[in-house]
Amino acid sequence: MKTTSFTKQEWDEALQGLSDSYRIFVPIREGDFHMFRPLENGIKPDFDFQNTRISPKSIIYPQSERMFEYTLEPEDPEANILKEAPKDYSPRAIVGIRPCDVHAFRIVQRNFDNPEFRDPWWVKHFESTILVGLGCNRPCSTCFCTSVGGGPFHEEGLDIMVYDLGDRFLAKSLTEKGEDFLNKTKAGAPADQPALQAAEDLKESVEKAFNPNVTMDHLHEKAVLDLFNAPFWEEVAFACINCGTCTYLCPTCWCFDIQDEVFAKQGDRIRNWDSCMFPLFTLEGSGHNPRTKKFQRVRQRFMHKLKYYVDKYQDGVQCSGCGRCVRYCPVNIDIRQVAALMNEL
Amino acid sequence: MHEYSEKIRDIAEKLLKNGTVDVFIGFKKGTVPMMNEPVLISDPEKVHTLHWDSHCALNLCNYLTGRTDKIGILATGCNSRNIMTHIVENQIKREQLHIVGIPCTGMIDHRAVQRAVQFKEILDITEDKDRLIVKGDGFEEKLDKKDFLQSNCLTCAHRNPVEYDELVADLVPEQEGVSAYEDVTQIENMNIDDRWDFFRDMISSCIRCYACRNACPLCYCPTCFVDESRPQWVGKSIDPTDTMTFHILRAYHCAGRCTDCGACERACPVGIPVRQFTKKLNKDTLELFSWEAGLTSKQRPPLDVYKVDDYNDFVK
Ligand code: SF4
Ligand code: SF4
Ligand code: SF4
Ligand code: SF4
Ligand code: SF4
C-alpha cells in the first residue's frame, strides 16, 4: 500500500500526465451540475462537488451501446451475419468517484457478472477501469449510504481512496492496480504522519456528524406477497408520472432493451437502458401487458430494489443510498419514506 | 402564497365532508426543499397534509386524465387553462370538477435559487411575503421573490384561473404589457445553421427520460409516437437525430394547446429549456389564429378544427 500527498495543483498535473496511459474520467461542472467527462484538452476537473447529477454508471454501461453490426446486402458473402461492433477496452480511470457509486458498481456486477451469466461488454469495460474514489467531506442531506452498508469514506471496491485535506489531496492505494496508478504519476510526496492523521480525523468527524438513519432492517423477514399486496402502493404511486428519471439517474438500475436499427442495408444491434417505470417495459409481443397500471410499475421499482434483490442475493438492498432519485424525482417520491413503509408493514 | 394553505385545507374538508367531491387533488409539502408532491385526498381527516407555496409548479391537471369520480382540484391560471383544454378534448367532464381557483403570483425557479447560492446545498427555504429566506450549512440569504420567478411566470398574462367554482383568495392583478416572445424572436432571427446548432446544443444532454412529456397534461396519448413499436417511428437510443425528432414532434403535438405552464421544464432532471420548442408554436398560433390555449372550454384549438370558410386556400 502506498500513500501519497499531492498539492491540488500537483494532482491536476499528475492526472493530465497520466492521460496518455489511461482514459481518465473526471467530474466537471457543466451548466448547473457536475458530471463525469473524459479528461481532454481544455477540460478542467472540479473536485469541489457533492455528487454528479448523472451517475458514472454510463462509463461502464453506456445508455446506448452498439453490440453488433451487420449488412443486409444480398451480394455480400457476410450478409445477415452479426459481427461484434468494435469497442474500446483500453485502460481507463474514473477519478473522483464517490464511495456510493463504487458500491453501486458492486451491486450492478451481480447482474452482469455472476456464476450463471457473464455479460462480456460490461465485464471487459469494468475490468479495464481503475476506480479512484474521493471521500465525501460534505454528504448531502439526501444521502443515506451508511444505511445500506456504505459510508462517506467506504473503501470497498476502490483501487485508490483520496482524501480532500483542503490544500492537498492524500491518495491511498488499496489494490495493486491502484498502486501502479500512483507510481505512474511520478508526482507528490510520500504522506507524512500529520497528513495521515488529518485524513483519519476528517473521516471520523464527517462520519460522526452524518446520521441518515433509513431503516431497512426488517425487509428480509417480510413475506414477499405481504409487501406486494400492501395497502399503500396506490397512495405511494399517485404523484408518479412514470418517467425515467429515477431509474436513469440511479447508479444501480441495470435494465436494458435490445433494438435493431437499420439504415438502407446497414444494421446495428443496440442495447439501450430501459426503465420499469415505462409501460413499454413489460409490453409483450402478443400485445398483452402484465403491468398496465402505474401503481404496478412503481411497486416493481421498489419491490425489486428493496425486496426481490434482498431475497435473491441475501446481501442488502439494490440501492447505494446516493439519493439521486430523492433529489431529482420531479414529483418528490422519496425512497427513504417508501423503505420505511415497507420496513414497518 | 404559503398563506393559502389554511384556506385550501378548509375548502377541501368542506367539499369532502358535504359530498361535493369524492377526492381532492392538491400538494403536500415535499421532503426536499423546493419540491412538493401532488397528493390525492379522499379522507377529510387527512386534509391537514395539504400545503401550498411558490414551489407548486407541477401541473395538477395531469392527474385528471381518465378519472371517473367527482374531483376537487386546485388550479392556478395556467392549470385552469389546461383543465379547459382537457374538457374540450374530452379527457374529463366539467360536471365532475369542482375547481378551486388559486390567484397566482408566480412560481419559483428552483434552479435560479440554486445558482444564486452558488450551488451550495439548500437545507431550508421559507417565504415571507415577497422574500425568500434560503438556509444551508453556514449560510443564510434573503432573496427577492420577484427576481427568482420561473421564466414562464415572468411573462404570464393569466395568473388568475379562467374558470373556477370558488377561490382561495381575492383575484390578483394581471401583469400588463409583458412581452412573452422575446426569446423566440431572437431564435427566429438566427440564420438557419445557427438555429440548428442552438437547438442541437440545447438538447445535447437529454437522457430521454420523458419527464417533460409525462409532466405535461397535454401528453395523454395511450401510446406516444416515440413508444410505438409497430411501426417504429423513432429510434430508442440517444442518437441526436432521434432525440431531436422526439422534441420537435412533441412540440407540434402541443401546438395551440400548450399553456406555457412550465411543468415540462421544471420536471427535466438535466434542466433542458424544452419550452423553447413549444413557445415558438404558441407564438405562431397567436399570430396566425389569434389563439391562446385554454381560455375557454367552448372552442376547440385551431389545429384541431376544420372550417368550410377557412381563409386559407390549401384546405379547400
Ligand atoms: S418515481 Fe419520480 S422519477 Fe421515478 S418515474 Fe415516478 S415521477 Fe419519475
Ligand atoms: S434507488 Fe435512488 S438512492 Fe438508491 S442508488 Fe438508486 S438513485 Fe441512489
Ligand atoms: S428498479 Fe426497475 S429499472 Fe431498476 S433494475 Fe429494477 S426493474 Fe430494472
Ligand atoms: S408543453 Fe410544457 S408548458 Fe406546455 S402545457 Fe405541456 S407542460 Fe405546460
Ligand atoms: S425531461 Fe429533459 S432529459 Fe428527460 S426527455 Fe425531457 S428534455 Fe430530455
CA of B246 to the centre of ligand 5 (A): 10
Question: How far is the CA of B89 from the CAs of B93, B218, B265, in angstroms?
Answer: 10, 10, 23
Using pLDDT thresholds of 50, 70 and 90, give the confidence band for residue A339. Answer: very high
- Mean pLDDT (chain B, rounded): 95
Q: What is the pLDDT of residues A215-252, one digit of tens each?
A: 999 999 999 999 999 999 999 999 999 999 999 999 99
Q: What is the pLDDT of residues B125-145, one digit of tens each?
A: 999 889 999 999 999 999 999
Q: Is the pLDDT of residue B273 over 70?
A: yes
Quote the CA–CA distance of A327 and B35 in Å, as a whole number.
9
Smallest CA–CA distance, residue A107 to chain B, in Å, is 22
Please report the pLDDT score of residue B2 as a whole number. 67
Reply yes or no: is the peptide bond before residue B231 cis, omega within 30 of 0.
yes
Per-residue pLDDT, averaged over A2-21, amounts to: 94
Per-residue pLDDT, averaged over B19-27, amounts to: 98
- The four Cα atoms B3, B9, B14, B15 give a dihedral, to 10 degrees, of 110
Please report the pLDDT score of residue A341 as a whole number. 97
List the grid coordinates of A303. 419491490
Quote the CA–CA distance of B65 and B82 in Å, as a whole number.
11
Mutate to test the interface with B, among A332, A336, A337, A341 (most CBs of B within 10 A): A332
Please report the pLDDT score of residue A186 as a whole number. 86
Per-residue pLDDT, averaged over A256-261, amounts to: 94
Per-residue pLDDT, averaged over A306-333, amounts to: 97
Please report the pLDDT score of residue B316 as a whole number. 65
Collect all residues of chain B within an 8 Å Cβ-Cβ radius of residue A272: 236-238
Residue list, ligand 2 pocket, CB within 6 Å: A 104, 249-252, 305, 319-325, 335
Q: Does B121 touch chain A (CB under 8 A)?
A: yes
Smallest CA–CA distance, residue A185 to chain B, in Å, is 32
Q: Does B242 touch chain A (CB under 8 A)?
A: no
What global pTM score does this model have?
0.95
3-state class (DSSP) for residue A179: helix
Q: Is the pLDDT of residue B1 over 70?
A: no
Instruction: Give the residues across from A64 on adjacent strands.
Output: A272
Q: Kindly identify which residue of chain B lies nearest to residue A257, measuring between CA atoms.
A: B236
Residue B275 near ligand 4, beta carbon < 6 Å = yes
